[in-house]
């Protein structure tokens, strides 16, 4: 059974940093692209970032987080990360870890999601 | 403002049929990218409902169906049940000069009357 378990959320002041983790199990983690998707309070789903296995491992980011967020993964520990710096109030959201159905997320779907972890940016 | 446009809400009585539209443009759905649909209950993990326009993952009832034409896609739910009350999102890909990226619709809240 595929399981994705996010952790690391919490309350942080504007300008602060936070590192999210997503522990994966039930599939060969290293073979699949992984992504982060967020949902701000009262809003819809917003793609944040993807770590693809194609091209030796490529990353992509939404314009809203580019230069502030860094996605990474540790295949030996089946874990996906999202390092977030210079956090803003508008980054407040539930952050979901999502598995792509292939090694590249290009044009692809998210076939499994975690339950999410809440990040609140406020003074 | 989402790249893909969905109606904010739809409703229907138990047993009825409802459809949810997802309108894009020539840089996403119209460019040939597949459309995927998700069901999301607040506080839970979103669930893949339809992938590649019209395919159902294992375990999804055949009451749910999807279609795509031109720059739009639709999700249809027949035999509406109380448990179908949730938020529904379409997802595709968009490509422009700065690259390609995942796009979602704004979401549609389905109310079962």
Contact flag A110-B46 (C-beta cutoff 8 Å): yes
Q: Point out the residue among B51, B57, B99 whose CB comes nearest to the CB of A60.
A: B99
Contact flag B89-A35 (C-beta cutoff 8 Å): no
Q: Looking at the predicted structure, is the pLDDT value of residue A102 above 80?
A: yes
**Phi, psi dihedral angles at A29 (to 5 degrees):** -50, -45
Residue with tokens 């060969």: A28
Q: What is the pLDDT of residue A105?
A: 87
Q: Point out the residue among B45, B51, B93 whose CB comes nearest to the CB of A106.
A: B93
User: Contact at 8 Å (CB) between B8 and B110?
Assistant: no
**Averaged pLDDT score across all residues of chain A:** 95
Look up residue A102 and give its two tokens: 């292939």
What is the band of A55 on the pLDDT scale with cuts at 50, 70, 90?
low
Contact flag A45-B33 (C-beta cutoff 8 Å): no
Distance separating alpha carbons of residues B88 and B84, to the nearest angstrom: 10
Q: How many CB atoms lie within 10 A of CB A31?
A: 10
Average the pLDDT over B14-42 and give the result: 96
What is the band of A97 on the pLDDT scale with cuts at 50, 70, 90?
very high
Q: A44 CB near a chain B CB, below 8 Å?
A: yes
Q: B12 CB near a chain A CB, below 8 Å?
A: no
Contact flag B48-A114 (C-beta cutoff 8 Å): no
Average the pLDDT over B38-45 and give the result: 92
Distance separating alpha carbons of residues B19 and A112, to the nearest angstrom: 24
Q: How many CB atoms lie within 10 A of CB A88?
A: 14
Q: What percent of chain B has pLDDT over 90?
A: 91
Average the pLDDT over B84-105 and give the result: 93
Distance separating alpha carbons of residues A5 and A24, to the nearest angstrom: 7
Q: What is the pLDDT of residue B73?
A: 98
Q: Looking at the predicted structure, is the pLDDT value of residue A15 above 90?
A: yes
Q: How far is B36 from chain A (nearest CA, A)?
A: 6
Q: How far is B66 from chain A (nearest CA, A)?
A: 14
What is the band of B37 on the pLDDT scale with cuts at 50, 70, 90?
very high
Q: What is the pLDDT of residue A103?
A: 87
Using CA atoms in the order B41, B44, B45, B51, what is the torsion angle rounded to 10 degrees? -20
Helix (H/G/I), strand (E/B), else coil: A118: strand
Positive or negative torsion for Cα A55, A51, A28, B89: negative
Q: What is the pLDDT of residue B68?
A: 98
User: Contact at 8 Å (CB) between B63 and B11?
Assistant: no
What is the band of A34 on the pLDDT scale with cuts at 50, 70, 90?
very high
Q: A40 CB near a chain B CB, below 8 Å?
A: no
Q: Looking at the predicted structure, is the pLDDT value of residue A54 above 70?
A: no
Q: Point out the residue among B2, B34, B89 whose CB comes nearest to the CB of A107.
A: B34
Helix (H/G/I), strand (E/B), else coil: A19: strand
Beta bridge partners of B38: B48, B89
A61-81: per-residue pLDDT in tens? Answer: 999 999 999 999 999 999 999
Q: Looking at the predicted structure, is the pLDDT value of residue B35 above 90?
A: yes
Q: B54 CB near a chain A CB, below 8 Å?
A: no
Q: What percent of chain A has pLDDT over 70?
A: 98
């Amino acid at each position: 059974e595929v399981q994705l378990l996010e952790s690391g959320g919490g309350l942080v002041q504007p300008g602060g940093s936070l590192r999210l983790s997503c522990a994966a199990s039930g599939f060969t983690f290293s073979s699949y692209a992984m992504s982060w998707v967020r949902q701000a309070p009262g809003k819809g789903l917003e793609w944040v970032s993807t770590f693809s296995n194609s091209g030796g491992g490529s990353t992509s980011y939404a314009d809203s987080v580019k230069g502030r967020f860094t996605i990474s993964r540790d295949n030996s520990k089946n874990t996906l990360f999202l390092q977030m710096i210079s956090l803003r109030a508008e980054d407040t959201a539930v952050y979901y870890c999502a598995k792509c159905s292939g090694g590249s997320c290009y044009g692809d779907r998210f076939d499994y999601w975690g339950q999410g972890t809440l990040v609140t940016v406020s003074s | 403002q989402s790249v893909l446009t969905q109606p904010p809400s739809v409703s229907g009585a138990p047993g009825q049929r409802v459809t949810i539209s997802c309108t894009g443009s020539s840089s996403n759905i119209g460019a040939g990218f597949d459309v995927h649909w998700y069901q999301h209950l607040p506080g839970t993990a979103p669930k893949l409902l339809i992938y590649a326009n019209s395919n159902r993952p294992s375990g999804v009832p055949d009451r749910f169906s999807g279609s795509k034409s031109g720059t739009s896609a639709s999700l249809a739910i027949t035999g509406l049940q109380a448990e179908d009350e949730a938020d529904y999102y379409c997802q595709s890909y968009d490509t422009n000069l700065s690259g390609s990226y995942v796009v979602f619709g704004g979401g549609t809240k389905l109310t079962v009357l």
